Structure 1
Amino acid sequence: MAKILVIDDEASICSSLQFALEDEYEVKTTTDPWTGVEWLKQESFDLCLLDLKLGEINGIDVLTEIKKWQPDMVVIIMTAYGTISSSVEAIKKGAYSYLTKPLHMEELLTLLKQALHFQHLYRQVAYLRQELENKYRSEGIIGKSPRMRRVFELIDKVKDIETNVLISGESGTGKELVARAIHFSGKRKNQRFEVVNCAAIPDQLLESELFGHEKGAFTGAVSRREGKFQLAQNGTIFLDEIGDMPLHLQAKLLRVLQQREVTPLGANKSIKLNVRVIAATHRDLKKMVEEGTFREDLYFRLNVLEISLPPLRDRRQDLPFLIQHFIQVFNQELGKQIAGVVPDAYECLLNYHYPGNVRELANIVEAAMVICEGDQIQLKDLPEEVRHNHVRLHPGSQSIQSHIEALVGLPVKKVEELLIKATLEKNRGHRKQTAKMLGISERSLRDKLKQYKGRQT
């Protein structure tokens, strides 16, 4: 039942409206406008019937205060014939409509139904838009670490400008989510967001996917097809894994970006474009330019501004927030009520190295929640590779003590070799990360590995 607030300085009108509307609506009335405003601060109303002349108080001032506390509430002004011009002013200030006194009940009831229907649609659209924006702003790119705060700052800076953006980072770090966050928080958010994964589409089909084709343009082209650039008109196109695009298509893409127009395969006429371009890659494009596998001019055209996403292992302080976030997400998807993670399993999650980054963390949490039988994720619920990599690092624990005892009696150099090799294995051969974890330079690590290899031969 909709809730209506009536504010009128004539008690008789308040009583009449209460009597006329209470069968269909929950009605609350007051002759004191500021009492009504106080109610609005404490309760939620769907609609307000507001008198424009409240003794010495101007109803416009009351309307302004109402909109301050409940911006989405529908307000219908009640006014005498002599103040219709003021009613028009009230509509400019946010009122839905106005009724002239004396009120005609049939007209009032009709207007109430229209206004409440409008209110329902307005709230539904606002809710869906907020849900959409929240999803693409936060999911998978949650974090309070300095590097993630920098990512959020850059998203905010570029969301409303036309600058091309290149998003770099390892697989699973959330590059597409950042691209969506830029689009759906910016001025193009009500337009289309088209995605092309340049690594997933065969070379012979990628050109058609990007630029479209006319009927008969090639064998199998039985009908005309619009490309992703045309579909993204006035919106955004996201070119994922741009480093996997073949050289001959890089040249055609460069021309599209320079000319701001596209010519479908088999067409004689070009189509003007108004498209925002965001690209992403897990590859080192600078190195590819040096090797001649990526065009330098295209690289500079795409990389006007770069957003570099850190791997999850370099922002471990974000792990608690991400773990809790994914528990909430999968509670909804799986219909579960898991509250958290027991200490030993939690420590295991914090110590794991996550080669697959945030995507892998999400998969691990989801898998554990599927298996979990209680309201807390247990160590046994985690995948084997996660449990295998778990070593308690706090002093005095049984795990670290047993490892130390196993090393007693060995030469220091041998202990160093075992530690370096174990750390390298933990990082799956990633030397830069291994050196960083051990607190040594990459050159020192390389030299030590050569020594170990020499001793084996």
Structure 2
Amino acid sequence: MDKILIVDDEISICSSLTFALEDRFDVQAVTDAGQAMQLARQEIFHLCLLDLKIGQVNGIDVLEQMKAIQPEMVVIMMTAYASISSSVEAIKKGAYTYLTKPLHMEAMLSVIEQALAYQRLNRQLEYLSSELAEKYTDKGIIGNSPPMKVVFSKIEKLKDLDTSVLVVGESGTGKELVARALHFSGQRRKHRFVALNCAAIPENLLESELFGHRKGAFSGANADKPGKFEYANQGTLFLDEIGDMPLGLQAKLLRVLQQKEVTPLGANRPIPLDVRVIAATNQDLNESVRQGTFRQDLYYRLNVVTVSMPALRTMREDLPLLFRHFLKSFQKPGEPVRKLSEEAAQGLMHYDYPGNIRELGNILEGACIMAEGEMIQWHDLPEEVRKTTRIPDKTDNNGEMGKDVFSSLVGMTLEEIERKVIEATLVSHEGHRQKTAEVLGISERGLRNKINRYALGTSDPVSR
């Protein structure tokens, strides 16, 4: 039940308002401004009916203090002495509206309901904005490998700039996630993020989609339609698969980017633009420029900074993190998170993922559907994975080193994985630090530091 605070120095008004509202709301009434401040510090109120004069105290001063204590509280001012100046001042100080005494109960109830609905809408919008920001910042991009750390570093440097960015990488590597992270973690996050797949729209419609049109511009244009540039104004426009854009349209796009204005089809006046453009492609645009299928000047305009998304097969150390992320995301309400059997984990660790992270997500979603129990078995994985992947024998890598390696990886932190790898390599080389360091690709000093850090072994391994 919504809580309402009534602040008026007349006891009769407090009593009558309490009587009128107490069936619908949780109501408290006070006749003193100091009491009102004390209550505001102790309890959360959704709405306050506040008199403009409370004894010798100015209600607008109380309004300012109330909003400082509880910024989300909706305040409706009441007075028997309405004036334009006091009304404007109250609204400027944060009041929702202004009611004149004597109060008409039905009209007042209508205003209260509208104010509370407005408050609920604001809360919902703030919640959705925070959810979007959390979802599309780089925190939502999974990875701790060196290539992903480079991506995170570039996002952090570029998020608050208006620099054009070209995101490159194979299909399924998460290029749009990078674009969304740049937008929703940056200074334009309060405005629109608009995505357009240049390869998914027929050539004869793509120009209208980008630049918009006016009624009558061509056959079938029965109404004005804003283009993606106009719709994304103040925000970010993400042009996916930019390498598939026709040459003729590339010239028009270049002009829009240079002039920072767009003229819809059939219009005479250009529309000024303040849009950040992020483009993405899975093609080699340098090669496309050499072949004459992509304009060199447009390539330079878009490619101020490049963010390269690595293929999944080049960052296998991130696979355990991705397994855990996807399995948790596919968890059904009331059921435990599915786990990978040792064979299934080994197979997925050695699969090449031509479709990258998107393919991994599809594989695990299908496996969760096919699995009969909590554990995902090797036979629950798609046939394509099972046909093209060899499961390493448990006795590979000198017997002991290969035992249960994948089952121990899944669910562990990277530090825990590093500790197990170093420990297993030391065991397999009978504690020989020089050979162990050579196999691990680190210096003996670095190995010694890690041995001390992880407290490996109770006896001092040999160094020869």
TM-score w.r.t. length of structure 2: 0.64
Aligned length in residues: 393
How far does residue 282 in structure 1 lie from its aligned partner after superposition?
1.9
**Residue 156 in 1 paired to residue 156 in 2?**
no
Distance 1:155 1:258 in 2: 20
- The answer for the alignment partner of 1:367 in structure 2 is 366
- The answer to whether the 8 Å contact 2:198/2:245 transfers is no
How far does residue 301 in structure 1 lie from its aligned partner after superposition?
1.3
1:57-456 alignment runs, 5 A limit: 60=60, 63-64=63-64, 66-68=66-68, 70-79=70-79, 81=81, 88-99=88-99, 105-130=105-130, 135-137=135-137, 141-142=141-142, 146-154=149-157, 156-158=159-161, 161=162, 163-183=163-183, 187=188, 190=191, 193-198=194-199, 200=200, 222-224=219-221, 230-233=227-230, 235=232, 237-245=237-245, 247=247, 250-251=250-251, 253-259=253-259, 274=273, 276-289=276-289, 294-313=294-313, 322-323=322-323, 325-327=325-327, 329-331=329-331, 336-342=333-339, 344=341, 347-348=345-346, 354-374=353-373, 381-383=380-382, 388=389, 391=392, 400=402
Greater alpha carbon shift after TM alignment, 80-89 vs 247-256:
80-89
C-alpha spacing 1:226/1:282, structure 2 compared with 1 (3 Å): farther
Distance 1:203 1:386 in 2: 37
Cα root mean square deviation, aligned: 5.0
Which amino acid in 1 is paired with 2:3?
K
Distance 1:214 1:52 in 2: 51
C-alpha spacing 1:216/1:91, structure 2 compared with 1 (3 Å): closer
C-alpha spacing 1:81/1:272, structure 2 compared with 1 (3 Å): closer
C-alpha spacing 1:18/1:389, structure 2 compared with 1 (3 Å): farther
The structure 2 residue matched to 1:37, chosen from 37, 40, 43, is 40
How far does residue 171 in structure 1 lie from its aligned partner after superposition?
1.4
SS of aligned partner of 2:362: helix
- The answer for the alignment partner of 2:417 in structure 1 is none
SS of aligned partner of 2:75: strand
- The answer for the alignment partner of 1:412 in structure 2 is none
Greater alpha carbon shift after TM alignment, 83-92 vs 107-116:
83-92
- The answer to whether the 8 Å contact 2:341/2:376 transfers is no
**What percent identity do the matched residue pairs reach?**
53
Distance 1:325 1:393 in 2: 29
How far does residue 280 in structure 1 lie from its aligned partner after superposition?
0.9
- The answer to whether the 8 Å contact 1:166/1:304 transfers is yes
Greater alpha carbon shift after TM alignment, 173-182 vs 2-11:
2-11
- The answer for the alignment partner of 1:22 in structure 2 is 22
Distance 2:113 2:215 in 1: 51
TM-score w.r.t. length of structure 1: 0.65
Which amino acid in 2 is paired with 1:361?
L
Distance 2:312 2:70 in 1: 41
C-alpha spacing 1:164/1:104, structure 2 compared with 1 (3 Å): same
**TM-superposition CA deviations, 1:348-377 (whole Å, max 9, x none):** 566655442321232123212322445565
